[in-house]
Structure 1
């Protein structure tokens, strides 16, 4: 017992001295307590305070109940005398406290607990601490801590541990906590269940088991009582029984008094009690388990503490400065690391942006050149078609095919410009169902044979204000994405319907008003989208496809086009269950305007004078012929400088400047700025296969007008009429 207590104290000291950081405050308090203890006078032998002594005098009948049958821990003999290990502790405690306790003899342990619960007694001499008992009892520090040990025959000289007993047969009392502990923690051990501790010891003594696990005190008592002399302790099981003195919960002073009495029992007295009642000996302790070792550790430790304290006090300020500097350096390093990471990300984004800008610039330049080539193809075929009176003329059909092919090529260049961010939105009233139907044939051509494609609607017409080329781009992106999600085939469904969105603004995306919207849905039966990806799919450069299989711009382009049309898009998807992208675009009530605008140029005639400027001879001559066909007076120039000379010469006659944007030497904007110095009231229309963004929004507070190449005769005439005769 004494060895166990000293070992426990040694562990506490070891924990104390092995602490990684002992503060200055701890040493100050420790030294104060040490010197106070050494200087404290020993004038009084009473271990109790005045308050505690007074309380004890006022309660002379303190009754404590032992366990009536728990030898050798405690028990009553046939004459009713209280005996055992705990009884010897109380003999010393009563002597030190100068008082006598009454030890009540109950028949069973259950009677003891019930009496404690009802306050029929003042406390219990020794009890294990449990949550249930803590509701009505207070506990002192443990009076004893007796291990459950491994018992073997004396012929077995090995020191054992449970983790090293694989395959050994171990006798354990059936149903107690040790049985469950060994079964769950050490399944490699062969358990021999027995009815009681005596049976377990006999199984080992008669060589029917390799070892038994029994409480050390109980094993010692049973071996002595039953003459089992061929057994010894071979090791500790790791489980022990801690017993403490328990008192009434409403008498905390009694608990304090008993704790002081228990603390007065010396190590020598504890060791003598343990040797008296526990005959079996544990294996010889290691050197670090001996009291002498820890006494030496204590002395050396105190001296070391004093030395270390001196060094710590002397170095305290220096260490504080080092800590501050270290923290500053760590913070600086962390900031530098963050800056490097941020710089790397920005550089990567810049390179990607430059790459996309280069591709866009090339795409825009190619589109510009193609549009210049398409302008005479579309323009002249359109002029020739207008001169053929009958559609059954053999020349009419080939010309019509040429014109339509040119317009399809124009749409393709429009998509190139959309990718390069050079496309100007050409918003006009259009019918969405017709647009989808016209685009359906192109979609059929790009889909694989194992993909089923279907378009459905609720039979209504869906008039919206939009750019047909951009809306076709939306359809193309969504359908191709759906096809990519179905490598083994599947079905794609485009559905159209009209919905009335709620009056509650909170139910709509920010910036959108309630009203009637055209709803366009694209559904597929593909692999679906992971839930964690749904919040990012519309972000630029985000893609779920493999490396090199996608730019990550498709859905972000769709999102941007939808927003430019005043609508919104959302997606519903589950992994392996397909996806549905739903677009809502605001409908318009008046659907006649678009048709009127398309036909407006057919009947317009002009009497104004127009100066046409373009460095491309074919485009310039085509524009001149178109304007002359409609009665306009036309002058033409191949460069900006030539145009300025004509303006000087005819400044009182020219009403409108029709100029290309990109020309060598002097571009369209520069030409118009100089032309306004000559003719301040001059109006202008710029034509280009590129973009009007190089022109900004105005010149000298004049609004800029723009027409895309290639154009038809009706389109250019309608634009001129719009500029010269605004409503």
Structure 2
């Protein structure tokens, strides 16, 4: 009976380990599948019956719109492990597709500078998450921003630049992503600062770590995500940048009809809904989620080893008890036989 109970206990523990293992190696299967975008899309109706005939005719003639994106601009734009365009900009793109009926096709390039270059050549029609600058306004029209993100200054630990403002960076080398709004910001308003343009945010951080740049300026969420996922420990926040760029949807300047259609569609997304969409990305902790995945794996392996040791101990202990019991029974029988 005890042996049977031991086996039942072992099976229960094994079942628990299977669940823990599934959570460790297949976290998506246990993730919350609720998507605020899906819920909003069910509520939204097309705006095509509310736009002028001239714009309807334009949509008929231009059913496909090419979207240029930044391939790694957390939390606004990035691609997931399956190559799908995601982020806050991706959510707005899905909503725009439902509201306008247009076929938005994402064009993935290697970096933001390449994306801007194609937009200037009219090979890209729309940006989903771009800050309005003087240079970009020469060839793009900008909607009202749907999110504002703070910019921060980060420096290398031990560099002596522990707390600085933008004015303290005069004559310093500051890494910025090539053609990002902060690059334009330095060129337009702070030419006394030496801008060091790089391909992406991770490279900007690495330039600071190696001493090739004194500081980096970028958006706070994007920097923190790169620091955590890249395991960069030598960087510290040093200050904030007063100028905060709002991110909006930008449309090529020679397509005012498309700009009007997209603006009409955006007006159907209320401020409360914009906050819900932003909260989905700004409150989630992507790096922490990856750490939890590793924690599940760690605990699964440790508990599996402990399970094997415990089951072996229980089995050996039960066998010893059974052997002792059988031995006592045999000795009792032998003693009874001798007395007889």
The structure with higher relative contact order (CA 8 Å, sep 6+) is: 2
